[in-house]
Amino acid sequence: MAIIMDGNGRWARKRGFPRSVGHRAGTENVRKAVKYCVRNGIRFLTVYAFSTENFRRPPEEVGILMRLLVEYFEKEMPELKENGVRLNVIGDVSAFPAYVQEAIRKGLDATKECEKLVLSIALGYGARAEIVQAFQKMLVSGETDITEETVSRYLYTSDLPDPDLIIRTSGEERLSNFLLYQAAYSEFYFTDTLWPDFDDDAFDKAVAEYAKRERRYGGVV
Ligand code: FPP
Protein backbone atom coordinates (compact mmCIF):
# COMPACT_ATOMS: atom_id res chain seq x y z
CA MET A 1 0.00 0.00 0.00
CA ALA A 2 1.25 3.48 -0.75
CA ILE A 3 -0.13 6.76 0.53
CA ILE A 4 0.05 10.36 -0.60
CA MET A 5 -0.60 11.99 2.77
CA ASP A 6 -2.23 15.22 1.70
CA GLY A 7 -4.22 17.85 3.60
CA ASN A 8 -2.21 18.53 6.77
CA GLY A 9 -2.22 22.27 6.11
CA ARG A 10 -5.97 22.41 5.47
CA TRP A 11 -6.64 20.28 8.56
CA ALA A 12 -4.80 22.87 10.66
CA ARG A 13 -6.40 25.88 8.95
CA LYS A 14 -9.89 24.51 9.58
CA ARG A 15 -9.05 24.55 13.28
CA GLY A 16 -7.34 27.94 13.26
CA PHE A 17 -3.91 26.40 13.90
CA PRO A 18 -0.64 27.05 12.07
CA ARG A 19 0.38 24.52 9.39
CA SER A 20 2.98 23.03 11.72
CA VAL A 21 0.19 21.67 13.92
CA GLY A 22 -1.25 19.92 10.88
CA HIS A 23 2.10 18.33 10.08
CA ARG A 24 2.39 17.14 13.67
CA ALA A 25 -1.09 15.61 13.45
CA GLY A 26 -0.10 14.06 10.12
CA THR A 27 2.98 12.52 11.69
CA GLU A 28 0.85 11.14 14.51
CA ASN A 29 -1.34 9.55 11.88
CA VAL A 30 1.65 7.81 10.31
CA ARG A 31 2.01 5.98 13.65
CA LYS A 32 -1.62 4.87 13.38
CA ALA A 33 -1.20 3.80 9.77
CA VAL A 34 1.80 1.66 10.70
CA LYS A 35 -0.21 -0.02 13.46
CA TYR A 36 -3.08 -0.63 11.06
CA CYS A 37 -0.76 -2.34 8.59
CA VAL A 38 0.91 -4.50 11.24
CA ARG A 39 -2.49 -5.55 12.62
CA ASN A 40 -3.86 -6.38 9.20
CA GLY A 41 -0.86 -8.19 7.76
CA ILE A 42 -0.02 -5.53 5.17
CA ARG A 43 3.69 -6.12 4.58
CA PHE A 44 4.70 -3.01 2.67
CA LEU A 45 3.66 0.57 3.38
CA THR A 46 5.16 3.44 1.42
CA VAL A 47 4.39 7.02 2.40
CA TYR A 48 5.15 10.22 0.52
CA ALA A 49 6.61 12.47 3.23
CA PHE A 50 8.82 14.96 1.38
CA SER A 51 9.07 15.41 -2.36
CA THR A 52 11.88 17.07 -4.27
CA GLU A 53 9.40 19.92 -4.89
CA ASN A 54 8.69 20.36 -1.15
CA PHE A 55 12.02 22.19 -0.82
CA ARG A 56 10.20 25.11 -2.49
CA ARG A 57 8.05 25.61 0.62
CA PRO A 58 8.97 28.44 3.02
CA PRO A 59 12.21 27.57 4.88
CA GLU A 60 10.35 27.67 8.18
CA GLU A 61 7.95 24.94 7.06
CA VAL A 62 10.78 22.85 5.57
CA GLY A 63 12.56 23.14 8.95
CA ILE A 64 9.46 21.97 10.81
CA LEU A 65 9.07 18.95 8.53
CA MET A 66 12.76 18.08 9.02
CA ARG A 67 12.44 18.29 12.80
CA LEU A 68 9.26 16.19 12.77
CA LEU A 69 11.04 13.55 10.75
CA VAL A 70 13.94 13.39 13.18
CA GLU A 71 11.52 13.26 16.09
CA TYR A 72 9.69 10.42 14.40
CA PHE A 73 12.88 8.48 13.69
CA GLU A 74 14.13 8.94 17.25
CA LYS A 75 10.93 8.57 19.27
CA GLU A 76 9.29 5.77 17.32
CA MET A 77 12.32 3.54 17.05
CA PRO A 78 11.67 1.28 20.09
CA GLU A 79 8.03 0.75 19.12
CA LEU A 80 8.85 0.16 15.47
CA LYS A 81 11.38 -2.48 16.46
CA GLU A 82 8.95 -4.08 18.87
CA ASN A 83 6.36 -4.31 16.11
CA GLY A 84 8.81 -5.74 13.59
CA VAL A 85 8.79 -2.66 11.37
CA ARG A 86 11.80 -2.14 9.12
CA LEU A 87 12.41 1.44 8.10
CA ASN A 88 13.41 2.15 4.55
CA VAL A 89 13.94 5.44 2.75
CA ILE A 90 13.35 6.01 -0.94
CA GLY A 91 14.67 9.19 -2.52
CA ASP A 92 17.75 11.36 -2.44
CA VAL A 93 18.41 12.79 1.01
CA SER A 94 21.81 14.28 0.13
CA ALA A 95 20.34 17.81 0.30
CA PHE A 96 18.88 17.16 3.78
CA PRO A 97 20.62 18.67 6.82
CA ALA A 98 23.33 16.45 8.32
CA TYR A 99 21.39 15.89 11.58
CA VAL A 100 18.43 14.54 9.58
CA GLN A 101 20.64 12.23 7.53
CA GLU A 102 22.22 10.96 10.75
CA ALA A 103 18.81 10.23 12.33
CA ILE A 104 17.77 8.39 9.16
CA ARG A 105 20.96 6.34 9.15
CA LYS A 106 20.44 5.32 12.79
CA GLY A 107 16.81 4.43 12.15
CA LEU A 108 17.63 2.24 9.17
CA ASP A 109 20.38 0.53 11.09
CA ALA A 110 18.30 -0.08 14.24
CA THR A 111 15.46 -1.78 12.37
CA LYS A 112 17.36 -3.65 9.68
CA GLU A 113 16.48 -7.09 11.09
CA CYS A 114 12.72 -6.41 11.32
CA GLU A 115 10.49 -8.38 8.97
CA LYS A 116 6.80 -7.84 9.60
CA LEU A 117 6.34 -4.59 7.74
CA VAL A 118 8.61 -2.51 5.55
CA LEU A 119 7.80 1.16 6.11
CA SER A 120 9.28 3.07 3.19
CA ILE A 121 9.36 6.81 3.66
CA ALA A 122 9.74 8.80 0.45
CA LEU A 123 12.13 11.64 1.26
CA GLY A 124 13.67 13.95 -1.30
CA TYR A 125 11.67 11.79 -3.66
CA GLY A 126 10.58 12.55 -7.19
CA ALA A 127 9.66 9.77 -9.61
CA ARG A 128 11.14 11.44 -12.68
CA ALA A 129 14.42 12.05 -10.85
CA GLU A 130 14.32 8.41 -9.72
CA ILE A 131 13.95 7.19 -13.31
CA VAL A 132 16.67 9.55 -14.56
CA GLN A 133 19.15 8.42 -11.88
CA ALA A 134 18.32 4.79 -12.71
CA PHE A 135 19.39 5.38 -16.33
CA GLN A 136 22.50 7.27 -15.22
CA LYS A 137 23.50 4.36 -12.98
CA MET A 138 22.84 1.84 -15.73
CA LEU A 139 25.06 3.81 -18.07
CA VAL A 140 27.88 4.08 -15.52
CA SER A 141 27.74 0.38 -14.71
CA GLY A 142 27.81 -0.54 -18.41
CA GLU A 143 24.41 -2.21 -18.31
CA THR A 144 23.46 -3.26 -21.83
CA ASP A 145 20.57 -5.61 -21.11
CA ILE A 146 17.88 -2.94 -20.69
CA THR A 147 14.61 -4.64 -19.81
CA GLU A 148 11.71 -3.71 -17.52
CA GLU A 149 13.32 -5.89 -14.85
CA THR A 150 16.67 -4.13 -15.23
CA VAL A 151 15.08 -0.70 -14.90
CA SER A 152 13.18 -1.87 -11.78
CA ARG A 153 16.46 -2.98 -10.24
CA TYR A 154 17.94 0.51 -10.54
CA LEU A 155 14.97 2.31 -8.98
CA TYR A 156 14.93 3.23 -5.28
CA THR A 157 12.26 0.57 -4.89
CA SER A 158 14.35 -2.36 -6.18
CA ASP A 159 13.56 -4.38 -3.01
CA LEU A 160 9.85 -3.56 -2.93
CA PRO A 161 6.86 -4.97 -4.78
CA ASP A 162 4.86 -2.53 -6.90
CA PRO A 163 2.03 -1.01 -4.86
CA ASP A 164 -1.34 -2.77 -5.20
CA LEU A 165 -3.18 0.23 -3.84
CA ILE A 166 -2.30 3.93 -3.83
CA ILE A 167 -4.35 6.15 -1.56
CA ARG A 168 -4.44 9.94 -1.84
CA THR A 169 -6.27 11.94 0.79
CA SER A 170 -7.78 15.45 0.80
CA GLY A 171 -9.66 15.41 -2.48
CA GLU A 172 -6.72 15.81 -4.86
CA GLU A 173 -6.68 13.25 -7.65
CA ARG A 174 -3.19 13.15 -9.10
CA LEU A 175 0.09 11.29 -8.59
CA SER A 176 2.33 14.36 -8.10
CA ASN A 177 5.51 12.65 -9.26
CA PHE A 178 5.06 9.66 -6.90
CA LEU A 179 6.00 6.10 -8.00
CA LEU A 180 5.28 6.79 -11.69
CA TYR A 181 7.02 3.62 -12.93
CA GLN A 182 5.78 1.39 -10.11
CA ALA A 183 2.14 2.51 -10.36
CA ALA A 184 1.60 1.01 -13.82
CA TYR A 185 -1.03 -1.45 -12.53
CA SER A 186 -1.87 0.03 -9.13
CA GLU A 187 -5.42 0.66 -8.06
CA PHE A 188 -6.13 4.23 -6.95
CA TYR A 189 -8.29 5.33 -4.07
CA PHE A 190 -9.09 9.00 -3.64
CA THR A 191 -10.93 10.42 -0.68
CA ASP A 192 -11.87 13.90 0.55
CA THR A 193 -10.77 12.97 4.07
CA LEU A 194 -7.72 14.98 5.16
CA TRP A 195 -4.67 12.91 6.11
CA PRO A 196 -4.77 13.58 9.89
CA ASP A 197 -8.42 12.40 9.89
CA PHE A 198 -7.74 9.22 7.91
CA ASP A 199 -8.41 6.72 10.70
CA ASP A 200 -8.86 2.94 10.95
CA ASP A 201 -12.42 3.11 9.56
CA ALA A 202 -11.15 5.08 6.59
CA PHE A 203 -8.45 2.45 6.01
CA ASP A 204 -11.05 -0.32 6.24
CA LYS A 205 -13.16 1.49 3.63
CA ALA A 206 -10.22 1.91 1.26
CA VAL A 207 -9.22 -1.74 1.61
CA ALA A 208 -12.82 -2.91 1.10
CA GLU A 209 -13.05 -0.78 -2.05
CA TYR A 210 -9.76 -2.24 -3.29
CA ALA A 211 -11.05 -5.78 -2.66
CA LYS A 212 -14.00 -5.08 -4.98
CA ARG A 213 -11.80 -4.05 -7.90
CA GLU A 214 -11.13 -6.53 -10.65
CA ARG A 215 -7.50 -6.43 -11.70
CA ARG A 216 -6.89 -7.64 -15.21
CA TYR A 217 -3.36 -6.34 -15.93
CA GLY A 218 -4.36 -5.75 -19.54
CA GLY A 219 -5.77 -9.24 -20.02
CA VAL A 220 -9.29 -10.62 -19.85
CA VAL A 221 -10.74 -12.49 -16.90
C1 FPP B 1 0.81 17.32 2.58
O2 FPP B 1 0.00 18.21 3.28
C3 FPP B 1 1.80 16.76 3.46
C4 FPP B 1 3.15 16.95 3.34
C5 FPP B 1 3.79 17.71 2.27
C6 FPP B 1 4.06 16.38 4.32
C7 FPP B 1 3.73 15.01 4.81
C8 FPP B 1 4.50 14.81 6.02
C9 FPP B 1 4.07 14.27 7.18
C10 FPP B 1 2.75 13.69 7.37
C11 FPP B 1 4.96 14.28 8.36
C12 FPP B 1 6.22 13.48 8.33
C13 FPP B 1 6.09 12.06 7.95
C14 FPP B 1 6.67 10.99 8.56
C15 FPP B 1 6.78 9.72 7.84
C16 FPP B 1 7.19 11.04 9.93
P17 FPP B 1 -0.02 19.74 2.83
O18 FPP B 1 0.92 20.48 3.72
O19 FPP B 1 0.27 19.84 1.37
O20 FPP B 1 -1.49 20.11 3.16
P21 FPP B 1 -2.41 21.14 2.35
O22 FPP B 1 -2.47 20.64 0.94
O23 FPP B 1 -3.72 21.04 3.06
O24 FPP B 1 -1.76 22.48 2.48
Task: Indicate the helix (H) or strand (E) that contains 206.
Answer: helix 200-212
6 catalytic? Reply is yes
Query: Which pLDDT does position 12 carry in this prediction?
Result: 98
54 catalytic? Reply is yes
Cβ-contact 201, 149 below 8 angstroms:
no
Task: Select the CATH number that applies to the domain covering 2-126+165-209 from these four: 3.40.640.10, 3.40.1180.10, 3.40.50.300, 3.20.20.70.
Answer: 3.40.1180.10
Query: Which pLDDT does position 216 carry in this prediction?
Result: 80
Q: Which letter, b or e, does each residue of 13-38 get, where b requires 16 or more Cβ atoms within 10 Å of its Cβ?
A: eeeeeebbbbbbbbbebbeebbebbb
| pLDDT mean values, one per 10 residues, the chain (221 residues) | 98 97 98 97 98 95 96 94 97 97 97 97 98 97 95 98 98 98 98 98 98 85 72
CB 47 less than 6 A from any atom of ligand 1: yes
Query: Which pLDDT does position 69 carry in this prediction?
Result: 97
Q: Which of 3, 4, 8, 177 to mutate to test the pocket of ligand 1 (most atoms within 8 A of CB)?
A: 8
Q: Which letter, b or e, does each residue of 169-198 get, where b requires 16 or more Cβ atoms within 10 Å of its Cβ?
A: bbeeeebebbbebbbeebbbbbbebbbbbb
Cα of 57 vs centre of ligand 1, distance in Å, is 11
Query: Which pLDDT does position 10 carry in this prediction?
Result: 98
**pTM (predicted TM-score):** 0.96
CA distance 44 to 50: 18
CA distance 17 to 19: 6
